[in-house]
Amino acid sequence: MAEVKLFRTWSSPFALRIVWALEVKGIEYEMIYEDLSNKSSMLLQYNPVYKKVPVLLHKGKPISESFVILEYIEETWKSKTPSLLPEDPYQRAMARFWAKFGDDKISPLIWEAFIKQGKDQEEALVAAHENLKYLEVELRGKKFLGGDAVGFADLAFGWLANLVSVFEEVTGVTLIDHEKFPLLLTWMQNFMDAPKIRDTWPPRDKLITKFRDLRETLMAKEPK
């Protein structure tokens, strides 16, 4: 009977953050896969407010929202290295800042660039690049946002390493180019190859199919 359970889907980037945290720290856990079109009564019971994944269940107590879960993991398994957050309060604030920035700014803009076409797509890309510049600067002199090892902010942005190439293949558009974002692309590769992380990637062909279908559906709904 596992003390730690993680409710996830096969592809959710938010749930993957938790998979990465647990794997990187070597915490034993049981995975419970959800079908979001047919949510289990357990999921609805454990996350009644949002009814989403990920949900971490520890000793029967549920925690939702990926960043909240990451902080919980960090605080509960203090002795398990690597630490996801640095010791210094200012560095911790910076890690949290970049993580939040990713979800507030980068994620919605990359998504816009993915689902739109033509001029709308161009505009979304320009805005995405404006914001990605900050990340490019942050990576100067560092292998990971967390320094030598993967940290909180890396886990927050990990979805880029996973999904950007999928989005690029589906749209036929380069979203993050080597000229403007050499450090970011290197980071994406380093993250993908990091031990414990590299075995967690959802199957690429399945992702391509999923996002191709999703894009078609969303584009069909767009007013002409």
Residues lying near other proteins in the complex (CB under 8 A): 49, 58, 61, 63-65, 67-69, 71-72, 75-76, 89-90, 92-93, 96-97, 100-101, 105, 131, 134
Asked if 188 and 147 count as a contact pair (C-beta separation under 8 A), the reply is no
Closest CB to other proteins among 100 and 142? 100
Provide, rounded to whole angstroms, the least separation between the CB of residue 26 and other proteins: 18
Provide, rounded to whole angstroms, the least separation between the CB of residue 3 and other proteins: 14
- 174-178: which pairs have CB atoms within 8 A and are 24 or more residues apart? 175/110, 175/113, 175/114, 175/125, 175/128, 176/132
Give the number of other Cβ atoms within 10 Å of residue 100's Cβ: 13
Handedness of CA 31, 34, 61, 89 (dihedral sign): positive
Closest CB to other proteins among 57 and 125? 57
Provide, rounded to whole angstroms, the least separation between the CB of residue 203 and other proteins: 31
Closest CB to other proteins among 68 and 219? 68
Residue 123 token pair: 């505009």
Closest CB to other proteins among 137 and 220? 137
Provide, rounded to whole angstroms, the least separation between the CB of residue 7 and other proteins: 15
Closest CB to other proteins among 97 and 201? 97
Provide, rounded to whole angstroms, the least separation between the CB of residue 48 and other proteins: 9
